[in-house]
């Protein structure tokens, strides 16, 4: 049986601990989630049948501030996965210096099989079940895989109904009409774009001669494909859960996005046959996409896509982890031995939570910022934290992942130690 996702996540903590001096009490604190909630959510389906869904919310660590993290709707959601994602959120928020701890939530469901009304009842039912666990000062959800602004709007409204006051700061990633921030929908991709541009500039790789393959074509991967295309990169392959397309000369990403929006899956591009010429485009499986000989590989879908099973076959020179946890710790070692530069999730995909922080600030102050202002602040943050992590990696001769964890650990440990451990003593 394979190792649990959380046990694998702990390996990254152990590796980083070898390079930073932290009190054993702070380390012990970081090995356990603060609180985990498992709930059942009864939903009346359109057919009249009652179906019960299983949901989770894990608050991992709140030393640096209220916990923060998205909510995932997927058939494979489990407590192990949600706990791991909450652990990564803790390190991600610390990596970019946000005053938040980490959390995550999820519901075991195939949202594509539900009607809009069923989805709304499920989302409101989830908030009914976790309302005492979240709040603008305690734990603030946001979108993740197969959730979106509409769902965040329902969740915020349901919390406001329960708490009997309009509470926009309880959820981020909402529609702008309900206090959502401009730029949150593109923030994860935009943040990743700034990191890619920074690294490529340092390696003197011009966009026009840089080939890119992207696995996952949703909020993160789809928007990133368009940003890279607009900047002149050659995006040669993209995929969604059903498979992908490949064109060695570079795909016309705006057309792919248009087709995907209209037809709901990338497959439509090759089924319809009018985007690229039939002779020079190919379909490609998700596993084939990962092993293409490209300069830049971007896993932007789910965890554990690169493992011992395929790590030896990866040919990309750089991997930017837009998904959370796409590479297992065992695969990391192989990629490192093969000279592949892996830029870790807790840095690369931190643009989303950074703009969520901006949204939370705007909700609390009642002052709303322009899109230019938001993107400018995001760029400053991404560039500054990327540079610090690159410098640390060079100074201590570490992989970028370990450097990012060391960078986060220093901030986390400072806060944990400043808070003290008095609360853990019992009176005799
Ligand atoms: N949305 C956000 O703000 C953030 C998302 N992320 C991470 O980015 C990743 C993608 O999330 P989103 O783009 O938001 O989700 P999304 O729901 O918008 O899109 C998910 C995409 O992945 C594809 N996909 C699903 N299963 C797949 C599989 N087995 N193989 C290949 N593709 C598959 C889907 O077809 C879709 O194109 C996740 O790991 C998420 O945790 C990280 C930070 C923030
Ligand atoms: O925007 C947020 O609060 C969290 C986004 C998220 O779930 C993630 O970064 O993985």
CATH number at residue 313: 3.40.50.720
Q: 104 forms bridges with which residues in the sheet?
A: 58
> By the 8 A CB rule, do 214 and 224 touch?
yes
On whether both 210 and 246 belong to a single domain, the answer is yes
pLDDT per residue as tens digits for the range 250-305:
999 999 998 888 766 565 454 444 444 434 458 899 999 999 999 999 999 999 99
On whether both 156 and 220 belong to a single domain, the answer is no
In a domain, 24, yes or no: no
Q: Is 149 left (phi over 0), alpha (psi -120 to 50) or beta?
A: alpha
Q: How far is the CA of 83 from the centre of ligand 2 (A)?
A: 14
In sequence order, the 6+-apart residues with CB closer than 8 A to the CB of 293 are 315, 316
On whether both 50 and 132 belong to a single domain, the answer is yes
> By the 8 A CB rule, do 149 and 76 touch?
no
At residue 150, does pLDDT exceed 50? yes
- CATH number of the domain enclosing 92: 3.40.50.10860
Buried b / exposed e over 259-273, threshold 16 CB at 10 Å, is bbeeeeebbbbbeee
In a domain, 60, yes or no: yes
pLDDT score, position 421: 64
Write down the mean pLDDT value for the chain.
93
In a domain, 7, yes or no: no
Tell me which residue has its CA closest to atom 31 in ligand 1.
241
Edge-first strand listing for the sheet containing 211-215: 282-284, 243-246, 234-240, 211-215, 296-299, 318-320, 341-343
> By the 8 A CB rule, do 348 and 326 touch?
no
In a domain, 203, yes or no: yes
Q: Where are the alpha helices (DSSP H) in 249-366?
A: 253-263, 267-272, 286-290, 329-337, 345-348, 351-365
- Give the pLDDT band (50/70/90) at residue 419: confident
219 lines ligand 2 (CB under 6 A): no
At residue 34, does pLDDT exceed 80? yes
On whether both 160 and 215 belong to a single domain, the answer is no
At residue 113, the 3 state secondary structure works out as helix
Rg of the chain over Cα atoms, rounded to whole angstroms, equals: 21
Distance from C-alpha of 343 to C-alpha of 323, rounded to nearest angstrom: 11
On whether both 296 and 239 belong to a single domain, the answer is yes
- Give the pLDDT band (50/70/90) at residue 378: very high
Nearest ligand 1 atom to the CA of 345 is 42
> By the 8 A CB rule, do 382 and 60 touch?
no
Averaged pLDDT, 224-249: 95
In sequence order, the 6+-apart residues with CB closer than 8 A to the CB of 265 are 240, 242
In a domain, 413, yes or no: no
Neighbours of 302 (CB within 10 A): 19
Domain count, the chain: 2
On whether both 196 and 343 belong to a single domain, the answer is yes
Nearest ligand 1 atom to the CA of 72 is 41
- Give me 384's structure tokens: 């500054």
In a domain, 181, yes or no: no
> By the 8 A CB rule, do 332 and 202 touch?
no
Tokens 């709930």 belong to: 39
End-to-end distance of the chain based on CA atoms, in angstroms? 44
> By the 8 A CB rule, do 386 and 195 touch?
yes
> Which of 348, 368, 398 is where one domain is finished?
348
Nearest ligand atom owner, CA of 87: 2
pLDDT score, position 2: 77
The set of protein residues with a Cβ atom below 6 angstroms from ligand 1 is 143-146, 188, 215-221, 239-241, 286, 300-302, 322-324, 349, 352
147 lines ligand 2 (CB under 6 A): no
On whether both 150 and 111 belong to a single domain, the answer is yes
pLDDT score, position 26: 87
> Which of 348, 365, 390 is where one domain is finished?
348
Give catalytic residues, as residue numbers: 104
Tokens 């393959």 belong to: 213
On whether both 238 and 267 belong to a single domain, the answer is yes
On whether both 200 and 343 belong to a single domain, the answer is yes
Tell me which residue has its CA closest to atom 25 in ligand 1.
241
In a domain, 160, yes or no: yes
On whether both 216 and 271 belong to a single domain, the answer is yes
At residue 325, does pLDDT exceed 90? yes
Q: 244 forms bridges with which residues in the sheet?
A: 239, 284
Nearest ligand 1 atom to the CA of 302 is 39
> Which of 348, 380, 408 is where one domain is finished?
348
Tell me which residue has its CA closest to atom 38 in ligand 1.
323
pTM of the predicted protein model: 0.96
On whether both 197 and 162 belong to a single domain, the answer is no
Q: Where are the alpha helices (DSSP H) in 231-341?
A: 253-263, 267-272, 286-290, 329-337
Q: 59 forms bridges with which residues in the sheet?
A: 35, 103
At residue 341, the 3 state secondary structure works out as strand
105 lines ligand 2 (CB under 6 A): no
Nearest ligand atom owner, CA of 90: 2
On whether both 142 and 198 belong to a single domain, the answer is no
| CA nearest neighbour of 211 among 187, 244, 247, 243 | 247
- The domain in which residue 297 lies consists of 187-348
Percent of the chain scoring above 70 in pLDDT? 93
pLDDT per residue as tens digits for the range 1-31:
578 999 999 999 999 999 998 889 889 999 9
Buried b / exposed e over 114-123, threshold 16 CB at 10 Å, is beeebbbbbb
Distance from C-alpha of 10 to C-alpha of 84, rounded to nearest angstrom: 9
In a domain, 76, yes or no: yes
Tell me which residue has its CA closest to atom 9 in ligand 1.
323
């Amino acid at each position: 049986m394979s190792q649990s996702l959380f046990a694998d996540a702990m390996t990254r903590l152990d590796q980083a601990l070898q390079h930073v001096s932290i009190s054993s009490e702070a380390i012990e604190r970081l090995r356990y989630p603060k609180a985990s909630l498992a709930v059942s959510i009864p939903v009346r389906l359109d057919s009249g049948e009652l179906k019960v869904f299983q949901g989770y919310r894990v608050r991992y660590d709140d030393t640096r501030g209220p916990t923060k993290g998205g909510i995932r709707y997927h058939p494979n959601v489990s407590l192990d996965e949600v706990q791991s994602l909450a652990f990564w959120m803790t390190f991600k928020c610390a990596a970019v210096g946000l005053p938040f701890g980490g959390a995550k939530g999820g519901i075991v469901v195939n949202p594509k099989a539900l009607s809009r009304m069923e989805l709304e009842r499920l989302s409101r039912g989830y908030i009914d079940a976790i309302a005492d666990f979240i709040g603008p000062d305690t734990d603030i959800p946001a979108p993740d895989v197969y959730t979106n602004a509409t769902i965040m709007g329902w969740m915020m409204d349901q919390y406001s109904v329960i708490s009997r006051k309009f509470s926009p700061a309880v959820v981020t990633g909402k529609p702008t009409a309900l206090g959502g921030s401009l730029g949150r929908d593109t923030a994860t991709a935009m943040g990743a774009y700034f990191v890619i541009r920074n690294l490529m500039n340092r390696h003197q790789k011009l966009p026009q001669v840089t080939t890119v393959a992207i696995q996952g074509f949703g909020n993160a991967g789809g928007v990133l494909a368009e940003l890279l295309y607009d900047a002149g990169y050659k995006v040669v392959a993209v995929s969604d859960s059903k498979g992908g397309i490949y064109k060695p000369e570079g795909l016309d990403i705006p057309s792919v996005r248009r087709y995907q929006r209209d037809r709901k899956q990338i497959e439509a591009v090759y089924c319809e046959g009018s985007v690229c010429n039939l002779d020079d485009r190919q379909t490609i499986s998700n596993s084939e996409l990962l092993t293409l000989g490209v300069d830049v590989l971007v896993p932007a879908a789910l965890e554990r896509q690169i493992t011992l099973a395929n790590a030896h076959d990866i040919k990309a020179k750089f991997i930017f982890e837009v998904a959370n946890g796409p590479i297992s710790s065992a695969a990391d070692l192989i990629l490192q031995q093969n000279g592949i530069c892996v830029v870790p999730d807790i840095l690369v995909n931190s643009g989303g939570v950074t703009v969520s922080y901006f949204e939370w600030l705007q909700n609390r102050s009642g002052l709303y910022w322009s899109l230019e202002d938001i993107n400018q602040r995001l760029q400053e943050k991404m560039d500054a934290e990327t540079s610090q992590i690159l410098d640390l990696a060079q100074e201590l001769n570490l992989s970028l992942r370990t450097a990012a964890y060391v960078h986060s650990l220093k901030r986390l440990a400072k806060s944990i130690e400043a808070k003290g451990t008095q609360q853990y003593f019992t009176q005799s």
